[in-house]
Amino acid sequence: MKNSNFFAELKRRNVYKVAVAYAVVGWLLVQVATQVFPFFEIPNWAVRLVVLIIVVGFPISLVMAWAFEMTPEGIKRTEVADAMPATKKPKKHAWIYVVVIGAIISISLFFLGRYSAGTKAVTASHTELSSKSIAVLPFENLSSDKENVYFADGIQDEILTKLSTIADLKVISRTSTAKYASKPEDLKTVSQQLGVANVLEGSVQRAGEKVRVNVQLIDARADSHIWAKSYDGDAKDIFAVETEVSQQVADALRAKLSPAEAKTIATAPTQDPTAYDFYLKGEFEFRLASSSLRQEQYDEAAAWYEKAIALDPKFAGAIAHLVFCRLNRHWFVENLTDPQLDELKGMTEHAINLQPDLPDAHVALGLYYYFGYRQYEQALAEFARALQLQPNNTQALEYSGYVHRRLGQWQTCVVELKKALEVDPRNADVAGNLGQTYTLMREWNEAERACRNALSFDPHDVIGMRALLLTTINSTGDATKALQITENFPPDEKAITVSISGTIASVTGERAYTLVLARDFDGALKVWDAPGRDPVDIRRRLAARTAIRVVSGDLTAARPEAEEGARVLEARLRERPNELLTLRQLSWTYLALGRKDDALGLAHKELGLLPPERDALLGNANLAGLAEIEARTGGAADAVGILRRLLSIPAGESVSIARLKIDPVWDPIRNDPGFQQLLSIKEHVGP
């Protein structure tokens, strides 16, 4: 009887109601703490403190419910509340709303937490490193002759190339692994940065014709050895060593090989060890040239390849890489003639006839179609074939991205460059080109992120430096901030190549034109103070200094160099009448000489040779270059019309509202009503 009276009293004093409401609200607070606190990076001890307070507060709330009651006149002791008139007692429905609302919110947070946890688990499973992923780190040169570093590099590269043929493996490109030491102390960090579970370390010691190769396969996640082995023999037997190492790595990682892949791994690139040695020296020089874009290093690499081919005319790999070398020189330093390009095509087709399944030969032919004549469909077909033969071929993947960019297929380009970075995650050129693509699309934040990523891999990467400079200028219009970026450029780096033509900056170089944007014309001229060393440098220097003086308004000072420049540039055009950069250089030279019609005619010719419809990247730059010449020759309306079009499409590398406001190239039409109206329109952003 006493028990029933006690429970009845608990009910009368609302203790049950308070207990239920407290439990629901407490559960709600726990859900908020566990689900929301981590989002704001609130430490875990705060979550535990909330739970502890809720637990301790439960008995206290029950005691308070027994002893006190809420009335219209405030909180009263239960005895006092009982003595109050019934009309003054409050209605007791509010607690029901508290319970229902609290329960709904608690349940929602609970399921949200379960969903988030599930999502994190799925993400974690996707990002878990595959046991069939590997990076071949640089092989250490232990030879007494330190010049043998090229030989150690070559062995590493050949093993990596063989492994890249295996579709069942994820193999990181050499460009990314080259950034690491031969035996890094923190392999777990290397594993995370490259996204691989395993690494292959090695060393090479060469004395005369004797070679010792030591290799060890390591599980980088646990920093534990899988196997290690040493090979001793003659330099002429190095091909067998490379094949054996590749096969043992594949076996250790349980990779499935097709018959074609097994055959490729077992195939030696040449039977002549001396030819192979020359080839490795060419590879070493070509890597240096690719970083510096120096003509002399391209020529040195080509000479070594030619020596290798002279000893073994059937050395298809050397033929393909000689074509790589010459096409890169053509693209970045000085254009080849049509007969020279035809010769390269014949060499590439010969390499494919010698070795039809050689991926590099198909990449070389694709590069001929792309760099030589912008024949995009043929280029894409060859790159696709290379990827069929070698799924981890980063070059084929990244060049496919560049071709799709020229076709104006911006999103496809972004996807392919990101895929290339998956197998070559520390390739500064690919990351820089991704930044350049975002700059074209005026996605400034993504562009800056990608460019800074590129420069974190290689602080002197030309593509990354140029793209970061352009996205800074064109997004902010802050020339001072842009000049701070150029302080990190190598002293002689002007960020100009023959493949970049279009606006005046392609004539002056980006470093000098950044000073022009700051209206420091004397500083811009100093960039080109040093006399030219060869015909290419002489033409560039004369044209750059002339263009800078034209923009500064000092036509009198420009005339002597303009007259000399006109002579050498006209001679060049007689040899190569369709060379785009020479046309642009001469058009600005003619402006300095007062030959406005001739300048405008050359600008129209350049656009006709490469319009946006044929090249969405450079064609749009040519269109911007025509607008500049129009502005300088009295064609304000035509210039404004072109600029309006460029602001409506992905052309953020050449034209942006922020840049229009500061660029002195537009000073002749700055007060034109049409130009002023441009500054208030919304420019296109995105693909």
Lowest mean pLDDT among 28-32, 269-273, 343-347, 414-418: 28-32
Looking at per-residue confidence, does 477 or 118 come out higher?
477
Q: Rg of the chain over CA atoms, in angstroms?
A: 35
Question: Is the pLDDT assigned to residue 69 strictly greater than 50?
Answer: yes
Full set of structural domains in the chain with CATH: 2-127 (no CATH), 133-268 (3.40.50.10610), 275-431 (1.25.40.10), 494-678 (1.25.40)
Residue 70: the pLDDT is: 55
Categorize the per-residue pLDDT at 562 as very low, low, confident or very high, splitting at 50, 70 and 90: very high
Contact yes or no for 536/295 (Cβ under 8 A): yes
- Residue 92 φ then ψ, to 5°: -110, 50
Q: Give pLDDT tens digits for 146-189.
A: 677 888 888 888 888 888 888 888 888 877 887 777 777 788 88
Residue 121: the pLDDT is: 35
Mean pLDDT (whole number) for 436-458: 94
Two structure tokens written together for 103: 């329960």
Pairing verdict, β 198-207 and 133-136: parallel
Residue 387: the pLDDT is: 93
Question: Is the pLDDT assigned to residue 77 strictly greater than 70?
Answer: no
Cα atoms found within 13 Å of the Cα of residue 303, Cβ hemisphere only: 8
Residue 87: the pLDDT is: 47
Residue 498: the pLDDT is: 60
Say how far apart CA 590 and CA 599 lie, in whole Å.
Answer: 5
Q: Give pLDDT tens digits for 114-140.
A: 444 443 333 333 346 778 888 888 888
Cα atoms found within 13 Å of the Cα of residue 382, Cβ hemisphere only: 25
Q: Give pLDDT tens digits for 587-607.
A: 999 999 999 999 999 999 999
Mean pLDDT (whole number) for 369-382: 96
Looking at per-residue confidence, does 467 or 14 come out higher?
467
Contact yes or no for 406/615 (Cβ under 8 A): yes
Residue 640: the pLDDT is: 97
Residue 119: the pLDDT is: 38
Amino acid letter at 536? V
Contact yes or no for 487/510 (Cβ under 8 A): no
| Alpha carbon of residue 669 to chain centroid | 37
Q: Give pLDDT tens digits for 614-670.
A: 999 999 999 999 999 999 999 999 999 999 999 999 999 999 999 999 999 999 999
Say how far apart CA 451 and CA 188 lie, in whole Å.
Answer: 26
What are the angstrom distances between the C-alpha of 148 and each of 103, 127, 140, 474?
74, 39, 10, 46
Say how far apart CA 21 and CA 97 lie, in whole Å.
Answer: 10
The helix/strand/coil state of 132 is coil
Mean pLDDT (whole number) for 198-202: 87
Two structure tokens written together for 241: 């060593």
**How much of the chain exceeds pLDDT 70, in percent?**
80
Q: Give pLDDT tens digits for 79-119.
A: 555 555 554 444 455 545 544 555 555 555 455 444 444 43
Residue 496: the pLDDT is: 58
Question: Is the pLDDT assigned to residue 61 strictly greater than 70?
Answer: no
What's the CA angle centered on 378, arms 376 and 379, to 5 degrees?
A: 60
Question: Is the pLDDT assigned to residue 22 strictly greater than 60?
Answer: yes
Question: Is the pLDDT assigned to residue 332 strictly greater than 60?
Answer: yes
The helix/strand/coil state of 206 is strand
Residue 115: the pLDDT is: 42
* DSSP code for 577: T
Categorize the per-residue pLDDT at 545 as very low, low, confident or very high, splitting at 50, 70 and 90: very high
Contact yes or no for 471/438 (Cβ under 8 A): yes
Average pLDDT over the chain, rounded to whole? 84
| Alpha carbon of residue 416 to chain centroid | 11
Cα atoms found within 13 Å of the Cα of residue 9, Cβ hemisphere only: 12
Kindly state the helix (H) or strand (E) to which residue 501 belongs, with its residue range: none
Would the pTM count as exceeding 0.75?
A: no
